[in-house]
Amino acid sequence: MDAAAKINGGAAQKGDNRPKLPIYLDYQATTPCDPRVVQAMLPWFTEKFGNPHSRNHIYGWEAEEAVERARKQVASIIGADEREIVFTSGATESNNTALKGVARFYKDRKDHLVTVATEHKCVLDSCRHLEQEGFKVTYLPVKKDGLIDLGQLDAAITDKTVLVSVMAANNEIGVIQPLAEIGKICRTKGAFFHTDAAQAVGKIPLDVNAMNIDLMSISGHKIYGPKGIGALYVRRKPRVRLQPLMTGGGQERGFRSGTLPTPLCVGLGEACAIAEREMGAEAERLKMLRERFYQGIMAKLPEVYLNGDHDKRLPGNLNLSFAYVEGEGLMMGIKDVAVSSGSACTSASLEPSYVLRALGVDEELAHTSLRIGFGRFTTEQEVDYAVEHVVAAVKRLRALSPLWEMAQEGIDIKSIQWSGH
Amino acid sequence: MAYSEKLLEHYENPRNVGSLDKAAVDVGTGLVDAPACGDVMKLQIKVNERGVIEDAKFKTFGFGSAIASSSLATEWIKGKTLDEAERIKNTHIAQHLALPPVKIHCSVLAEDAIKAAIADYSAKHPAKPQG
C-alpha cells in the first residue's frame, strides 16, 4: 500500500470513483505525519529514551547521535551548516526568538525593524511587543499580487534597522516573496534578514547562502513531521547574535535551553530528508493537482477570483473568492471537504482576513474566500470530487444570495441604503 | 463547533427561498446587513387586507446560522398578523436553533429583517391602522 492510500485509510473499491470522505484540503493548516517519519521516531520514545545531553552513558550518547543526525538533515534542506540549526517547539517560537532575540541583543546600537503587513500573526505580535519596549517597526504594504515592492523595502531600511523579517511563502495566499533580492538588499544595507519559512521549507528550493538569509524559521508539522517541533536557522558567518527567550541549562549553544525531545527532533530530520529527496517531483504533481482544481472551478463558475499571484505561489495553495457566497456558509455546504475560510468568521473574531485586506481585496470579496491546500496525500480523484461539490454548493448558495440576485439585476451593491443598522 | 440538527436541517433545506415583487403594494421588503461580519438578509412579506402575512420569502448571504435564522423567520411569520410578527424576538430564534454565542447576531439580523419588512409595508400603507 502506498503512503497516500495508507493515510486515506485504503483505496476506494474497484469501480467506485468516490474517494474516502472527508477529504482533507487544508495542507497549509497542518499536514499528517508521513508514516516513514513516524517509523523513524518510534524507537526514540521507548527503548532509546535517553537524554541527549547525558554525557556519561550509552543512552545519552545514542540519543545525542540521533539528534545531531537530525540537525544535519534539517541543515541540508536549506543549504546550512548543522551548527547553525537550533531546535525549537515550532515556527511560532522560532519567530519570537528571531525577532525579540535579535532586537534585544542589539538594542544599544539599533532600534528599528522592518516587516510586512501580511506576515503571520506571531511575527506581527512579536513586533507589537517590541514596539511596547521602545523599538520602531515599519510594516511594509504589499501589492495587489501579495508581493512586496523592493524599492519600498530598500527605502525603509536605515542605519538603525537591525532586522528585516519577510516571510518566504504566505500561509493564506501562498505567494512567494523574492527572497534572493530581499537578501541582497539587506546584506548591502547591513540589516539582518529573517524569513519565516514555515510554509516554504520542503515545498520550494531554499538556500540560505545564495539568498543571504541570516535567520530562518522552520516548522515540523507543515512538512509531514510531528507537531511540537521546529527549528531556527541562525547564521554563523557573519555572526548573528541573539538574546535567548528560554534560559536554563544552556542547551542549543545557549540559544534555547531545555532538554531536546529526541523523537521529535528525529521526526523533523526525517521529514526534511524526505522532502529534500522528493520536492522536485512532488512540486510538479501538486502544481498539476492545483491547476486541475483551479481550471475545473473556473470552467464551471463565473465570478471566482484568485487571491495572490498565480505563478509566484506555493505549488499546493489556492485562495479563491467565490463572489456573493459567504465563506463559512460555503464551508458548511461542503462539509465533506475540509478547507479553510478567509472570512475568518470561524474564530471568535468576525473580521475578514487581514491578509486579503492588505492585498486590497474588498471586504465583501474577502468574506467569500476559501483557502484550498493540496499536499502529499491528495489524489486526482479527491480533487475531482472536491470541484464537483464546491461548484454545486456555490450554485445553491448563489441562488439563495440576495447579493447575487442584485448583481444579476445590475444593482451596484455599494449604492444600497441599508435599512435596519 | 457542532451545530444543532435543527440549524443544519434549515441550512440543508431552507424554507421560502425566493423573491416577491418589491414594487407590489401588498409586499413589504426588508434588506438588512450586519456590518460586523458582512451578512446580508433580504426578507419579504405579502400581506392581505386583514393584515395577515400570507406569504414570506427570503434570500441571505452569510453564515449557515444566518441562512437558517432567516428560513425559520419566514416559517414563523407566515399566517401571523403584522402585530404578532413584530413580537418575534431574536432570542426565540437563537434558542430554537441553539445558536452558538458567536452567531447570536445572525438571529438579531433575522429579527431586524422582519421589522424592516413590516416597516416597508407600513410605509406603503400610511393610512391603514395596523393590527
ipTM: 0.89
Domains assigned to chain A: 3-33+279-410 (3.90.1150.10), 35-274 (3.40.640.10)
What confidence tens digit (pLDDT) does each residue in A214-273 have? 999 999 999 999 999 999 999 999 999 999 999 999 999 999 999 999 999 999 999 999
Nearest-10 Cα torsion for A21, A22, A26, A31 = -70
Where are the extended beta strands (E) located within chain B?
27-34, 39-47, 53-61
pLDDT of chain A, 421 residues: tens digit per residue: 455 545 554 444 455 667 899 999 999 999 999 999 999 999 999 999 999 999 999 999 999 999 999 999 999 999 999 999 999 999 999 999 999 999 999 999 999 999 999 999 999 999 999 999 999 999 999 999 999 999 999 999 999 999 999 999 999 999 999 999 999 999 999 999 999 999 999 999 999 999 999 999 999 999 999 999 999 999 999 999 999 999 999 999 999 999 999 999 999 999 999 999 999 999 999 999 999 999 999 999 999 999 999 999 999 999 999 999 999 899 999 989 999 987 654 455 667 889 999 999 988 888 899 999 999 999 999 999 999 999 999 999 999 999 999 999 988 777 766 554 4
**Any CB–CB contact under 8 A between A364 and chain B?**
yes
Per-residue pLDDT at A144: 96
Where are the extended beta strands (E) located within A235-368?
304-306, 317-322, 337-338, 340-341
Q: Which residues are bridge partners to A397 per DSSP?
A: none
3-state helix, strand, coil in chain A (%, to 5): 40, 15, 45
pTM over 0.95: no
- Give the B-side interface with A, CB within 8 Å: 1, 3, 11, 14, 17, 19, 30-42, 59-64, 66-67, 102, 105, 109, 112-113, 115-116, 119-120
A–B: how many Cβ contacts below 8 A? 84
Q: Which residues of A touch B32 (CB under 8 A)?
A: 418-421
C-alpha cell at B94: 437563537
Per-residue pLDDT at A19: 87
> Which of B35, B63, B116 is closest, CB to CB, to A328?
B63
Whether A345 is a known active-site residue: answer yes
**Pairwise CB contact (< 8 Å): A402 & B31:** yes
- Of all residues in chain B, the percent with pLDDT exceeding 70 is 94
Domains assigned to chain B: 5-124 (3.90.1010.10)
